[in-house]
Amino acid sequence: MDQAKFTHEIQTRAMNSRFVLVGICAWISSCLLVAGWLPELSGNLQSVWLMSGLLGLVSAVGLAETIKADIRVQEDLLNEYMHAAMTDGLTGLANRQALDRMLTTLLREPESRRGPLSMIMIDIDRFKAFNDEFGHQAGDAVLRTVSRKMQEFFGGKAMVARYGGEEFCIVLPSCILKDANHLAESCRLMMRQVECEFREQRFRITISCGVTEANSLDTPDSLTQRADMALYTAKKMGRDMIWVADPGSTMPTSPESSSNSAPPILPSKKDLQVLDSVLATVEPRSTASEARLENPADHAPDTNDGPDLKEPEYTVAGSRMHQ
């Protein structure tokens, strides 16, 4: 049984027990009042019974109101606890537990009823190197800024959750893969313009995105794994780009696909070795990137933690996939 439901059930039983006690008190008081009107009783005894009955009824009403107020306070506290349990303390976004609950609820419904469901996994590029150079407080400031901007960008049309570390997960109900792809690209471009401030220092960041859509057989784990693999590939290809995972295939492909062709297809974790060998032979730089760089050889994508976020290198323009 869910812990929140169990706690609520215990509180409900306690409240019901109190109301039963109030009911018993009210019944006894009513009996005293009725008995007080009996003509067989002497005047003094009749007055005592009537007064006892009235006091009992007043006490029962007061106790009932106290119990109601206590119930409201406990419900407010329970809601606060549940909100805290589902919220990331640093960023204020939904946390991993809230994400898992939402995915479980959505994927439990038949596909014909829930409609399309897409997911975007987002990772801040070179965040570890940034933390090592500027410290975790600066890293926390970057996380808060990124979280706020993503909340503003996606608004009420998506659930934005912190998946862990510098990784975020966006769940898009009623959104097909193509639309999720366009949203991810717009978010990527928006993030390149964001300035993060910390102690009079300003930093610019880039993000990498993995996009996929749920199929009829997906579970929360399989959907998340496929989106995470897309994100892994985007970072492997040079960062600051988007990779799309086809919902129904596990074969690797080159990022040379145009927007009119089928989206790139990702391998499963078992195919990582094959994927790495394919990626090693692919030149990820776009024509637009080569024209913009004075010396392209100095800007080849790497797989190690590069320079910090203060001077980001936009070596791969992932928008080529969406032109």
pLDDT-derived band at 40 (thresholds 50, 70, 90) equals: low
Q: What is the pLDDT of residue 19?
A: 66
* Residues 183 and 118: beta-carbon distance below 8 Å: no
Domain boundaries, the chain: 3-85, 96-322
Residue 147 has pLDDT above 60, yes or no: yes
- Residues marked active site are found at 166
To the nearest whole number, what is the mean pLDDT of the chain?
A: 74
Residue 318 has pLDDT above 70, yes or no: no
Q: What is the pLDDT of residue 321?
A: 36
Residue 103 has pLDDT above 80, yes or no: yes
Residue 185 has pLDDT above 70, yes or no: yes
Distance CA 167, CA 220 (A): 17
Residue 249 has pLDDT above 80, yes or no: no
* Residues 322 and 182: beta-carbon distance below 8 Å: yes
Strand partners, 210: 121, 243
Q: What is the pLDDT of residue 171?
A: 97
Return the higher-pLDDT residue of 162 and 9.
162
Residue 237 has pLDDT above 80, yes or no: yes
pLDDT tens readout for residues 156-167: 889 999 999 999
For the domain bounded by 96-322, which CATH number is listed? 3.30.70.270
Return the higher-pLDDT residue of 84 and 122.
122
pLDDT tens readout for residues 128-138: 999 888 899 99
Q: Which range (20-24, 229-233, 282-286) has the least confidence?
A: 282-286
Q: Determine the average pLDDT of the residues in 95-109.
A: 93
Q: What is the pLDDT of residue 287?
A: 34
Q: What is the pLDDT of residue 112?
A: 84
